[in-house]
Structure 1
Amino acid sequence: MTTVTASTDRPRARQPRMPIEVRREQVLDAALRLITEHGYAAATMEAIAREADLAKPRVYSAYPGRGPLLNALFERQEQRALATIAEAVPADFTGYESALDVLATAAENLMRAAAAEPAAWRLLVFPADEAPPEVRQHVHTSRTFAVDQLRVLLVWARTVHPGLAEVDGDLAAEMLAAAGERGLRLVLQDPDGYPPERFAAFVRSWADIFFR
């Protein structure tokens, strides 16, 4: 007589259904954690499913493959970065009396945003050598947007600071953007040593000399 032994493997618990938009965010968040902690090679579809605590078919229902998934992640992070930059360096300077105030506020806002979501900003600020070409393109797009915002600021600054009339606006915007990038790196590498308030104070003291 043959004895039938019950399997000791328990089926995976049924996962609650959720809107596909919510599922996609869950998958992208899991991919972001893997990349920032272990590098791009670690972000396989199987690993992402484990990180998100989802069955692999659920991950594939959100994104058909690793390429589309990573591209969606890069696009999301780029859009968030652009929104933060736009808010930090406004195009409308109504209510500001000097470019000094705008720059100091922008520096503090940007550094606070990076300190609040370090994993998200590391993806753009520290693109790894093995990063796909799309990542570097998104980094370039974000930087170009920041430079354009700074150019607008400097055009306005000339109207309230006549002494800036002879300053090369394009070069000044590039230099300010480079300083901002370095600031983001310091905040992400050593948030305790370089708090946002420190950058605001530095920018205010430096700009006070520059905009006299």
Structure 2
Amino acid sequence: MSQPAKRPRQPRMQLAVRREQVLDAALRLLTRHGYGAITMEAISREAQLAKPRVYAAYPGVEPLLLAVLEREGQRALATLAEAMPVCTDDADFDDTLVAAMKNLLTAVTAQPESWRLLLLPADDAPSQVRERSAAAMRFARDKLRTLLEWGRDRRPGLADIDLELLADSLLAVGERAGRQLLTDPEQFSIARYERFARSLLAALAPH
């Protein structure tokens, strides 16, 4: 009597792929339930991986959380860098500023869980979360300051404005916009913010 054919063994998931799967599961739990919900068992269930597989990816909750924060912080910085249009000699300042805003808000909608972690941290978030958020905001402020300095000779009226305070003000509006887009996207849409930005820039034009 012939032996039944053995089922082919599934290839083991590469460690790098498994780590990403574990980090994605942890991020989903964080945004839904906060940091108190993060246990290795909860992540095992969320990722649909056996607990030993989760431990093989990360030895415990603390290094896993640090890896989540590191990854999402790097993603945020990359998004901010990509959101800033190239400031060419023939570019229009108003169009460039509005494009930067739209690009950033589009990125927020494309990666809501990542941005929720930074813009809407849970009450029980560790200090590293706020440090990552602050680093992202400093990076954004520097990019805005560079854009404003480039536009000083292109936009009438900028020459008399304190660019440092203007960059801080624009950043505050951008943070607020990101939070509103995450919590109430129907009322605070990207199109609404674009119209607001265009109207504000038009109102600031010299008469």
TM-score of the two chains, using structure 2 as the length reference: 0.90
Matched residue SS, 1:165: helix
Q: How far, CA to CA, are the matches of 2:90 and 2:135 in structure 1?
A: 28
The one of 101, 114, 119 equivalent to 2:113 is 119
Structure 1 contact 103–204 (Cα < 8 Å) conserved: no
**Are residues 1:196 and 2:190 paired?**
yes
Structure 1 contact 100–211 (Cα < 8 Å) conserved: no
Q: Which amino acid aligns with 2:67?
A: A
Inter-CA distance 96–85: structure 2 relative to 1 (3 Å threshold):
farther
Q: How far, CA to CA, are the matches of 1:192 and 1:122 in structure 2?
A: 17
Residue aligning to 2:131: 137
Q: Deviations over 1:97-149 (max 9, x none)?
A: 32211121111111111122222211000111210111011001000000000
Structure 2 contact 156–205 (Cα < 8 Å) conserved: no
Structure 1 contact 96–102 (Cα < 8 Å) conserved: no
Q: Which amino acid aligns with 2:114?
A: A
The one of 41, 44, 48 equivalent to 1:46 is 41
Residue aligning to 1:72: 67
The one of 153, 170, 176 equivalent to 1:176 is 170
Q: Deviations over 1:38-75 (max 9, x none)?
A: 11110111111111011111111111111111111111
Q: Which amino acid aligns with 1:54?
A: L
Residue aligning to 1:26: 21
Inter-CA distance 101–82: structure 2 relative to 1 (3 Å threshold):
same
Structure 1 contact 49–56 (Cα < 8 Å) conserved: yes
Matched residue SS, 2:153: helix
Q: Which amino acid aligns with 2:39?
A: T
TM-score of the two chains, using structure 1 as the length reference: 0.88
Residue aligning to 1:148: 142
- Report the RMSD for the aligned CA atoms in angstroms: 1.6
- Unaligned regions of 5+ residues in structure 1, if any? 1-13
**1:88-99 alignment, distance < 5 Å:** 88-90=83-85, 92-94=86-88, 97-99=91-93
Q: How far, CA to CA, are the matches of 2:205 and 2:165 in structure 1?
A: 16
Q: How far, CA to CA, are the matches of 1:32 and 1:61 in structure 2?
A: 18
Q: Which has the higher contact order (CA 8 A, sep 6+)?
A: 1
Matched residue SS, 1:161: coil
Structure 1 contact 164–211 (Cα < 8 Å) conserved: no
Q: How far, CA to CA, are the matches of 1:83 and 1:129 in structure 2?
A: 26
